[in-house]
Structure 1
Amino acid sequence: MSYDALFQPGRIGTLELRNRVVKSPNSSATANMDGTISRRTVDHYRRFGEGGVGLIMTEYTYVDDDASKAIHNQPGMSRHEHIAGWGWLVDEVHATGAKIGLQLAHGGRQKFLGTAPIKSASDSSWDYVEAVAGVIPQPVTVAEIDEIVAAFGAAALRAWKARFDLVEVHAGHGYLITNFLSPHTNSRTDEYGGSFENRSRILIRIIDAIRAAVPREFPLSVRLSVTDYEPDGIPIEETVRLCRLLEEHGVDVLHASGGHHATMEWEVSPWFNSRAPHRWGWEKFRTEVSIPVIGSGSLVSPEVANEIIESGSAEFVSLGRAMLADPDWTRKAAENRPLEIVPCIRCNDGCLHRGVDKGRSVGCSVNPTVAEEGRFPLVPATVGKDVVVVGGGPAGLRNAALLSDRGHRVRLFEAGELGGMLAHARGSTVKQDIAALAEHLVHEVERRDIDVVRAWATAVDLVASGVDTVVLATGAPLREPDFPISGPIPVTHAAQVRAQAPLSGRIVVIGGGLQGCETSLRIAEMGDTVVTVVEQRDSLLTGDEVVYDVMKLPQFMDRAGVRVRTGARATAVTPEGVAVVAGGATEIVAADTVVLALGRTAAPRELADALIAAGVDVHIIGSALRPGRVYDAVHTAFFTARLI
């Protein structure tokens, strides 16, 4: 399959682009504390240009030194001194053949630093930020609005001086401008509140200020949410009106997204949400304007992205997390190598949960070199070794491919299904991103000179083969139940539930951690099922889970019709169903099939100990080292491969 639509030249105003692929803004948190550009920032953005993208949009950049900075190590364009660093970055990106735009923003009530002052349209607070330091937003005064408008205009002029190809105003995702646009966060009674005309006034003033500050041929973009997905928020009809108004005031392209941080399932769509969730919205206004539209939001695969361009849904596609996962996404798609693209799994683990949310720079579960571009090269090994990788799950597959690339002679032992714990996702719509990763990892091993041995590895055989190094990627065993099972009701483990053999009837899932919750969604999509999750604790997802799963996955389970029994401890599987104790009383939850989702236990050490005793160099990775997620599997595989 080819993706020809993606690789037609494109135009935004006077700006010509080599293709229709845009790198969407993602916070990298690699700038210096004063907002100036660091070497890491330059390397980070240059890497996307080297990957073949047409236009790179930088992360949101603050415009003043009052309240617009939202996050740690955010870049700024609030002062003349910021221009030089940005100019350096622009030149390095241009050397790759890509174009680059600067996104300007004011944090508004989403000032994650939590420090005063927090300025917004009204005093409507987001509890997540308020919890940081107890600071609630102050409504900006009209005089302060004048200063903010001027700051955007001045920052845009600095962007032009730094020789950016385009400037973009962030008017979505719950930042200051959205705080004005949305009735959900705007309760003002002056000329900036109430009617649509009043709520959009600040944005139009900012657009006019930028148009007055920079040459007309300098393209201007607006990033907006098709809606904030709040019941009392921005209706799509107002977004359509706004887009017409923006075109009238000189905007050259509309960059469509959706949601805000309180509705993160739309702003940074997780694995359990659909792909391209905002398409319905941008198609509402695309035919109402004559300027191009950039569609964004979980356009993770070349098939999805190409179809959007080919069908005329949008003129450009914008990908953020997908390019963190693989900065060569564009080049591989252009060369018709889709299975070589490292797929974004939309886990929000490396980029947010363990990355920016922890005060670190951005990371990625499937790409350990994000924000460290060039610092961890995979160089050829000084001496090629005979290496055995035991286990064909995500850690073992990735590790084997990397070891092969370094020049080692690699054998991979796996008696079961390649893909390991990821194999359950194949054929499931709700787990399509994980299924894509499993397919990619297997493909990467199959296209290399790696001997895949479909058998269990024993210490005796490995030692006898004269192996130099063994990497154990055997995973972690599934936890077995501590209660009796009797009767005819089929009992299976969550990892064995497959779309290819759909379940039906009354399904009881024992365990309300991530495994149990994701399994309940997979079963619910099979159709003729009534799914109940039984969890002994008082709430779901109480382990070391990604915060976005904890916040939003139960809502999606509820929409899918999954029933939840918390505070209910399973004590037996009987011929009638699952016996549970809740509130001191025992009852039976009727079941036709029982699914165990009890998590995993620590991996046994026998094989490792035997090999070490025989003098073999042994490395343990993935869940064999410590039960974890995809992030842990891929990262331990990568860094271990560099050491052998």
Structure 2
Amino acid sequence: MDARLEPLFTPWKIGNCEIKNRIVLTSMGGTNLLGWMEKNHFDKEGARFIMEAAKNNAGLVLPGCQPVYNPMFGQWLYKNKKMYEDLKAWMPEFHKTGAKLFVQLTAGFGRSFTISKMMESLYANKFLRVVSKPFMDLDKITATASPSPNRWSDKVPSREMTVEEIHEFVEAFAKCAKLLQEAGVDGVEIHAVHEGYLLDQFTLKYVNHRTDEYGGSFENRYRFAVEIVQAIKKECGKEFPVSLRYSVRSMTKGFREGALPGEDYEEAGRDMAESEKAVKYLQDAGYDMLNCDNGTYDAWYWAHPPIYMPENCNLLDVEHIRKFVDIPVVCAGRMDPLAAAEAVAEGRIDGAGFARRFLADQAWVTKLMEGREEDIRPCILCHNGCFNMCHYKGVPNDQELSDSLHLARCAVNAETMQWDKHYIKKAPSSKKVHIIGGGIGGMEAARVLKLRGHEPVIHEKSDVLGGTFIPASAESYKDKLRDLLAWYRRQMEVQNIEVHLGEAVRDMAQFGSDPVIVATGAVPRILKNVPGHERMIEACEYLNGAKVGDVVAVIGGGLTGSEIAYELALKGKKPVIVEMKDDLVSQTGVCLANSSYLREWFALHQVPVYLETTLKEVREDSIICATKEGKEVEIACDSVISSAGYIPNPLQGNGKGVQLVGDCLKVGNLRSVIWSAYEAAMKV
């Protein structure tokens, strides 16, 4: 192990509870021990994930948050005694790992509850609203401190919670904590004066306009969170540890409007001055630890950092508030282990929180300890598998129901939380399997085939493995994508997989009866109907190094086009985005944390964006576009980049024993490429 990391592997205490090291697996929806958006039960899939992390040297483990009142079916978490008995039976095995377990309990989501089109329909129809109450009472689920707009939808507003409801929740926290204590759990974490969830909404002045004992003054706004810890301590005793998930600063300008790193703005939520006071107040109320980052759902990219956010984006703020308390403080949010170790060594923080790294590779801590960093499968901060909640103009959460119900899967690791569907099963007999295409899909298929006992052979027409992922990972801020590409190339070497570079396959008949997997990807859509289209530079050409001028028109404001425009601006160029739709990145599979960052970054930096605008002609020094109303617009530019999408490029002659994977079958994203390649390799 790198000696600089040693401070991360020293013991520490939360109250009287000793933790063996400073690595904290922070809570993620979908990794729940007692079920998620379903009837509560002891969840074996969640338990398997938690156990894997514990076996692989996580010090403190926090499963996915457990609503004390389940949004689905209206269950109170303390009423199902059987699942606590199952948990109690499981705990001794967990404790053999040496890790400690805190279960995170949540009051809920309030105005941050993720609304879908189906929920909008339920709420709009009075009859359906009544009929659906037993399994989804939206009026109760979305209730908050004061009447407020929902983060995702204008059609499902949030009403004010009653004092009686608040008291009911406080009592539920205490009852659940007691049952968890009796089951052998080491502590609980209260979710959350953090990220703009319900308890946080009570503390934030831009949401809370109450005039009773839960609104107005500082003490009143924090009363809900204080009463919860006091009730738990009364029920469980003062020695039972209670952590609080906490956002140091809200980084929020108002409803649905965040503040970007470095932006000069007026804080609508909790500023640093209030936070300095709040952390001491919450400590004195009885909280034993603060598990910290920044942001709200209105500024979601702070709590769920996409790849555009800087590493250790919350560290300075967390280090600052550490000075105002005597209890341990944990920092989370794109944490780099080396930076975390240095901060721990200098006493600036007490623990480091990591989450989605564990989805990509549950053994990453073990590999870190063994000095095998190059073997760690990296998280690329895409949110495609774990949290792809989408929202764009006029559309609430545009997400497949399967994704809504099954969070905490991983785009780069097809097995995580899908062990019943994706697993390595040894083949009954070894076969030579030809893979046409050495991109990510081809390499994933080869990797899985080799693990199953087959002999994969990759045929790649270029002189390097990686395919279109090479330009996809080329932008300056995409170091984690380049790490993933390096990981895949290393897997080909470690597993001694046969690779033929510079070999274009034109006739699959040469492989006889051997199984074949085609992973030839997609080709760019060329706007041949646009006069002057030959003057445009295709997106991958630019990413592969094609030169552009100072003012660059980017045709297409989806994720690829928006990321190219972002890169151009970072390099000092002047991008102009032209998009046919009424919003940027209006596509499924792209988390709101990612897309809202880009939209707000362009607005802050005054990048010209032409929405509902169609390219009509490319001239030597300008483009001609048409608005929705039919008005002609001429935009001066030095270069034009086309990011108009891609179309599948399968090899012709598909027959028996031939499988297509990834974009050559259907254009998608990295998740669809990796998962389909894994599944194809399982079938051979």
TM-score normalized by structure 1? 0.90
Equivalent residue for 1:540? 584
- Summarize the Cα distance change of 1:465–1:369 in structure 2 as closer, same or farther, 3 Å threshold: closer
Q: Report if aligned partners of 2:622, 2:635 keep a CA contact under 8 Å in 1.
A: yes
Q: How far is the alpha carbon of 1:427 from its aligned partner?
A: 5.5
Equivalent residue for 1:103? 104
1:146 to 2:182 alignment: no
- Summarize the Cα distance change of 1:429–1:166 in structure 2 as closer, same or farther, 3 Å threshold: farther
1:62 to 2:67 alignment: yes
> 1:587-608: per-residue Cα shift (whole Å, max 9, x none)?
43222222110110122441x4
Equivalent residue for 1:128? 152
Paired residues for 1:542-581 under 5 Å: 542-548=586-592, 549-581=594-626
1:386 to 2:429 alignment: no
| Stretch moving more, 118-127 or 54-63 | 118-127
- Summarize the Cα distance change of 1:591–1:366 in structure 2 as closer, same or farther, 3 Å threshold: same
Q: How far is the alpha carbon of 1:306 from its aligned partner?
A: 4.1
Distance in 2 (CA, whole Å) between partners of 1:356 and 1:88 is 32
Q: How far is the alpha carbon of 1:525 from its aligned partner?
A: 1.2
1:405 to 2:451 alignment: yes
| Stretch moving more, 43-52 or 154-163 | 43-52
| Stretch moving more, 194-203 or 478-487 | 478-487
Q: Match for 2:58 among 40, 53, 56?
A: 53
> 1:83-129: per-residue Cα shift (whole Å, max 9, x none)?
21332443342233322111111015144555232442222242536
Equivalent residue for 2:560? 515
Equivalent residue for 1:360? 405
1:182 to 2:204 alignment: yes
- Summarize the Cα distance change of 1:224–1:74 in structure 2 as closer, same or farther, 3 Å threshold: farther
Give the fraction of aligned pairs with identical amino acids, expressed as a percent.
27
Distance in 1 (CA, whole Å) between partners of 2:632 and 2:149 is 44
Distance in 2 (CA, whole Å) between partners of 1:342 and 1:556 is 29
Q: Report if aligned partners of 2:31, 2:49 keep a CA contact under 8 Å in 1.
A: no
Distance in 2 (CA, whole Å) between partners of 1:441 and 1:90 is 36
Q: Report if aligned partners of 1:224, 1:256 keep a CA contact under 8 Å in 2.
A: yes
- Summarize the Cα distance change of 1:129–1:168 in structure 2 as closer, same or farther, 3 Å threshold: farther
Distance in 2 (CA, whole Å) between partners of 1:425 and 1:438 is 10
SS of corresponding position for 1:388? strand
Q: Report if aligned partners of 1:427, 1:500 keep a CA contact under 8 Å in 2.
A: no
- Summarize the Cα distance change of 1:427–1:376 in structure 2 as closer, same or farther, 3 Å threshold: closer
- Summarize the Cα distance change of 1:373–1:601 in structure 2 as closer, same or farther, 3 Å threshold: closer
Equivalent residue for 1:341? 376
Equivalent residue for 1:422? 469
Q: Match for 2:179 among 158, 181, 184?
A: 158
Give the counterpart letter for 2:635 in structure 1. Answer: V
> 1:338-368: per-residue Cα shift (whole Å, max 9, x none)?
2322222222222223577843212221122
Q: Match for 1:291 among 309, 322, 327?
A: 327
Equivalent residue for 1:628? 668
Q: How far is the alpha carbon of 1:136 from its aligned partner?
A: 2.9
- Summarize the Cα distance change of 1:515–1:253 in structure 2 as closer, same or farther, 3 Å threshold: same
| Stretch moving more, 578-587 or 229-238 | 578-587
SS of corresponding position for 2:576? strand
Q: Report if aligned partners of 1:117, 1:138 keep a CA contact under 8 Å in 2.
A: no
Q: Report if aligned partners of 2:145, 2:202 keep a CA contact under 8 Å in 1.
A: yes
Q: Report if aligned partners of 1:244, 1:288 keep a CA contact under 8 Å in 2.
A: yes
1:20 to 2:67 alignment: no
CA RMSD of aligned residues (A): 2.8
Q: How far is the alpha carbon of 1:575 from its aligned partner?
A: 1.5
Distance in 1 (CA, whole Å) between partners of 2:151 and 2:536 is 42
SS of corresponding position for 1:330? helix
Equivalent residue for 1:115? 138
Distance in 1 (CA, whole Å) between partners of 2:77 and 2:437 is 47
SS of corresponding position for 1:317? strand
Equivalent residue for 1:261? 297
Distance in 2 (CA, whole Å) between partners of 1:262 and 1:111 is 12
SS of corresponding position for 2:411? coil
Q: Report if aligned partners of 2:466, 2:485 keep a CA contact under 8 Å in 1.
A: yes
> 1:550-570: per-residue Cα shift (whole Å, max 9, x none)?
544322233344221123322
Q: Structure 2: which 5+ runs fail to align?
A: 115-135, 254-267, 389-398
Q: Report if aligned partners of 1:34, 1:73 keep a CA contact under 8 Å in 2.
A: no
Paired residues for 1:77-88 under 5 Å: 77=78, 80-88=81-89
- Summarize the Cα distance change of 1:89–1:554 in structure 2 as closer, same or farther, 3 Å threshold: farther
Equivalent residue for 1:448? 495
SS of corresponding position for 1:174? coil
Q: Structure 1: which 5+ runs fail to align?
A: none
Give the counterpart letter for 2:138 in structure 1. Answer: T
SS of corresponding position for 1:519? helix
Distance in 1 (CA, whole Å) between partners of 2:650 and 2:544 is 30
Distance in 2 (CA, whole Å) between partners of 1:441 and 1:563 is 38
Equivalent residue for 2:361? 326
> 1:522-542: per-residue Cα shift (whole Å, max 9, x none)?
211112x11001123333334
- Summarize the Cα distance change of 1:192–1:481 in structure 2 as closer, same or farther, 3 Å threshold: same
Distance in 2 (CA, whole Å) between partners of 1:428 and 1:74 is 47
Equivalent residue for 1:432? 479
- Summarize the Cα distance change of 1:9–1:434 in structure 2 as closer, same or farther, 3 Å threshold: same
The count of aligned residue pairs is 627
> 1:365-397: per-residue Cα shift (whole Å, max 9, x none)?
112223233663213322121122221222112
Q: Report if aligned partners of 2:364, 2:376 keep a CA contact under 8 Å in 1.
A: yes
Q: Report if aligned partners of 1:398, 1:634 keep a CA contact under 8 Å in 2.
A: yes
Q: Match for 1:225 among 247, 267, 291?
A: 247
